[in-house]
């Protein structure tokens, strides 16, 4: 891989802080931070497919780099001068998921790379979002090492599980969010949505044009549904919103589900309910057999655009050029791996509130960074 250089820091008088986003993907986290007034210097990722959506929607450069070959000095040089510095990152979560935990996966070391880069760059504020199972991965040692490293370097650390519907996200997703600051105590802003007001699947996607399986909307190529085999077409027709494959006639049930080891996998081959938040959007949400990703009343899985909307990307968020090819696997990975934009905005708002509190106490955002520069 040719190493791309990070941009050199330039003054940014319109922003309240200067951000570098590691493992930036398609830009969900960066986009949310921008909407809250934080200045974005660049996003860094190894996935070239993310360049177009990241740069098109955020306006910041996408740097294709392997973080193992990245130095904290490069990150420090990219920050705008005289602004609080913020390093954010969502290390790929698959190594910490239930499905891969038993396997040896070198990606688990990416959180250690994030730890190294924080230690080298010493940003004023750090934020990380990941799966809550990271708390138990390798008996929690990896997360504890990260937190211990931050606290040892003088950061105040807040780290808790966050239920996404509490923040206006229409999916029953729980994520681990960490915030750390060298300025003083910091935490995520309190939840803003009560359970009776949780956004539902209907609130998010009910107005989109109807599609058949294998069809794409003529005005929005991202509103495209994957095709179904004749057998799966019969299965989805027999499925009930919120139900499982146990609702089907026995002739439609897969052999593996009739066996003892497959009987517990009831969350696959199901339809969403209009009146509830969606299940967690994964990287394979476009496939009917990959979870409860069937459309509530159309005989298909949800479309790529519907998955992006459930991740709270704006409906007009651009993932491919106008003439670009729609590749379900690539786009599903981008969307499913993203930090939901509304969660990113809550993280950005938390940083904004924190900096305002520091200013109210008589400090200026840039001063602590300059104070630590000699360390």
**Residues identified as active-site:** 93
**Euclidean distance between the first and the last CA atom of the chain, given in angstroms as a whole number:** 33
Q: Quick one: CA dihedral 225, 227, 228, 230, positive or negative?
A: positive
Q: At what angle do helices 141-152 and 110-121 cross, to 10 degrees?
A: 0
Going by their DSSP bridges, the two strands 125-131 and 174-181 should be labelled as antiparallel
Total length of the chain: 375
The answer for residues whose C-beta is within 8 angstroms of residue 12's C-beta and 6 or more apart is 18, 39, 80, 83
- DSSP SS3 for 272: coil
DSSP string, 179-239: EEESSS---PPPP---GGG---HHHHHTTSPP--TT-B-SS-TTSB-----HHHHHHHHT-
The full DSSP string for 113-166 is HHHHHHHHH--SEEEEEEEGGGGTGGGGHHHHHHHHHHHHTT-EEEEEEEEGGG
What whole-number distance in Å separates Cα of residue 157 and Cα of residue 176?
Answer: 13
Say what angle helices 341-360 and 28-35 make with each other, to 10 degrees: 40
Q: What order do you get walking across the sheet with 125-131 strand by strand?
A: 62-64, 39-45, 18-22, 85-89, 125-131, 174-181, 156-163
Which of 368, 345, 365 has the alpha carbon at shortest distance from 357? 365
- 3-class SS of residue 98: coil
């Amino acid at each position: 891989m040719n190493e791309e250089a990070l941009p050199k820091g330039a003054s940014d008088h319109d922003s309240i802080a200067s951000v570098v986003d590691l493992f930036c993907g398609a830009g969900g986290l960066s986009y949310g931070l921008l909407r809250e007034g934080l200045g974005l210097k660049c996003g860094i990722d190894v996935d070239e497919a993310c360049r177009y959506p990241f740069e098109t929607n955020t306006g910041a450069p996408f740097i294709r780099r392997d973080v193992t070959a990245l130095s904290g000095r490069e990150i420090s040089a990219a920050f705008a001068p005289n602004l609080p510095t913020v390093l954010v990152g969502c290390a790929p979560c698959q190594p910490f998921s239930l499905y891969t935990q038993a396997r040896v996966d070198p990606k688990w070391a990416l959180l250690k790379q994030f730890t190294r880069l924080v230690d080298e760059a010493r940003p004023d504020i750090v934020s990380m979002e990941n799966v809550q199972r990271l708390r138990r991965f390798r008996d929690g040692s990896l997360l504890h090492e990260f937190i211990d490293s931050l606290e040892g370097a003088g950061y105040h650390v807040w780290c808790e599980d966050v239920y996404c519907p509490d923040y206006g996200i229409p999916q029953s997703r729980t994520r681990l969010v960490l915030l750390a600051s060298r300025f003083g105590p910091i935490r995520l802003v309190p939840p803003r949505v009560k359970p009776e007001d949780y956004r539902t699947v209907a609130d998010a996607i009910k107005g989109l044009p109807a599609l058949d399986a294998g069809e794409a909307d003529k005005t929005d190529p991202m509103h495209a549904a994957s095709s179904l085999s004749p057998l799966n077409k019969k299965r989805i027709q027999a499925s009930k919103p919120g139900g499982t494959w146990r609702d089907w006639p026995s002739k439609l049930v897969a052999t593996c589900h009739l066996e003892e080891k497959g009987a517990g996998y009831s969350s696959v081959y199901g339809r969403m309910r209009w009146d509830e938040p969606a299940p967690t959007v994964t990287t394979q949400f476009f496939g009917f057999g990959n979870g409860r990703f069937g459309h509530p009343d159309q005989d298909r899985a949800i479309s790529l655009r519907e998955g992006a909307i459930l991740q709270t990307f704006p409906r007009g968020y651009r993932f491919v050029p106008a003439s670009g090819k729609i590749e379900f696997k690539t786009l599903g990975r981008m969307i499913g791996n993203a930090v939901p934009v509304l969660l990113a905005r809550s993280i950005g708002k938390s940083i904004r509130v924190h900096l305002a509190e520091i200013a109210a106490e008589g400090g200026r955002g840039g001063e602590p960074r300059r104070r630590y520069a000699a360390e």
